[in-house]
Structure 1
């Protein structure tokens, strides 16, 4: 089995990075009540839905008028601030993930990225955490490709672009539907919780680090 797994593919937000809209808005000094409302379960202000549209390839400039019309001027201006200060929503790499990437590379495995992320803000991840760009052999970004997890096409594009075989790849994502999409094209999809659990999942597939 150790010989069967040759490559590991990682989602970004919630796997490599601690992504928090709240962190960005709190740093800006918005009232706690407003931040709580925006970040509440159910996405009452649509921030995550609008960002999902950006992740699928739409431009911020085309989405902002919809935010203003649907949510009002105040929320639209907060959303503008959030996108313009996106780096503040990435306060840290998740514990143990840089070490895991380094250990995988040292063991001779290919290490790749596959993320749902806007083409307009993705550069911030590598600017803020250049070690991630250094450690990954390549990354597919949904907003650049105008494809979106969990649809099969973006997994297939990743495999074809990097010359990977699905049955020899492990894919980590924190979202269940994205794991289902990966499994559907033959990847070994695993739900990410912590770096320690990822190491355990890899060990169960025969990857000794």
Structure 2
């Protein structure tokens, strides 16, 4: 007799799994020179700087510190907060369809995202048809915990009411995938929608 598949839910990352994200999407609209754009993204609004927002620091603080270091870029730095949604590109092809398929099949959907507590609500409001399908979303900036900290996965499993081995987790970041796997999630490294869907079919969460 075959053992029933214990996996009953799917937990998504958001950035570069459901939606493309890159600071370049915003700043290529504001900086015409390619070399100046590359230097600004490399030296000023770096991923490490933005990671502070995901960890719970307010933009008012981080921007003031950065403007003090780079006063010549004050207006560009100040644009990051009110125009953050412009750093988010379109949906990752095929992923909204997978969300809708899973929802239609009655599979519980959740998310764990490294996202600023300030920036998440305005972004979520752009896609209610998608995010209303999710039963809960753990936002790092609200919890002041960021992936791949094991504590954020433990918190999410408690909140979602899921035990070890009961959910698929998909993320584009290898470190986040490894930490989720150690936390007891069936962790999948995201490459594209077709490959992920094939895994969901293998796990009998979607039909072939």
Query: Could you tell me whether the CA contact under 8 Å between 1:58 and 1:143 is conserved in 2?
Result: yes
Q: Where do 1:4-15 residues align within 5 Å?
A: 4-15=6-17
Query: Could you tell me whether the CA contact under 8 Å between 2:11 and 2:170 is conserved in 1?
Result: yes
Q: Measured at CA, do residues 76 and 175 of structure 1 come closer, stay the same or move farther in structure 2, by a change above 3 Å?
A: farther
Corresponding position: 1:19 with 2:21: yes
Which residue in 1 is equivalent to 2:143?
A: 145
Which residue in 2 is equivalent to 1:32?
A: 34
Which residue in 2 is equivalent to 1:45?
A: 44
Which residue in 2 is equivalent to 1:126?
A: 124
Query: Could you tell me whether the CA contact under 8 Å between 1:2 and 1:205 is conserved in 2?
Result: no
Q: Measured at CA, do residues 197 and 84 of structure 1 come closer, stay the same or move farther in structure 2, by a change above 3 Å?
A: same
Inter-partner Cα distance in structure 2 for 1:129 and 1:113? 14
List gaps (5 residues or longer) in structure 2.
Answer: none
Query: Could you tell me whether the CA contact under 8 Å between 2:111 and 2:134 is conserved in 1?
Result: yes
- The alignment yields a C-alpha RMSD, in angstroms, of 1.7
Q: Deviations along 1:167-189, whole A, 9 cap, x unmatched?
A: 01010110011001101111111
CA-CA distance at 1:111 after TM superposition: 0.7
Q: Where do 1:50-129 residues align within 5 Å?
A: 50-70=49-69, 72-129=70-127
- Tell me the secondary structure at the aligned position of residue 106 of structure 2: coil
- Which range is displaced more, 23-32 or 156-165? 23-32
Query: Could you tell me whether the CA contact under 8 Å between 1:87 and 1:128 is conserved in 2?
Result: no
Inter-partner Cα distance in structure 1 for 2:133 and 2:36? 38
TM-score (normalised: structure 2): 0.91
Q: Deviations along 1:139-167, whole A, 9 cap, x unmatched?
A: 00000011111011111111111211230
Query: Could you tell me whether the CA contact under 8 Å between 2:5 and 2:203 is conserved in 1?
Result: no
List gaps (5 residues or longer) in structure 1.
Answer: none
TM-score (normalised: structure 1): 0.91
- Tell me the secondary structure at the aligned position of residue 27 of structure 1: coil
| Partner residue of 1:159 out of 149, 157, 166 | 157
Name the structure with the higher helix share.
1
Query: Could you tell me whether the CA contact under 8 Å between 2:102 and 2:206 is conserved in 1?
Result: no
Query: Could you tell me whether the CA contact under 8 Å between 1:47 and 1:79 is conserved in 2?
Result: no
Query: Could you tell me whether the CA contact under 8 Å between 2:107 and 2:205 is conserved in 1?
Result: no
- Tell me the secondary structure at the aligned position of residue 193 of structure 1: coil
CA-CA distance at 1:203 after TM superposition: 2.4
Matched residue count:
205
CA-CA distance at 1:93 after TM superposition: 0.9
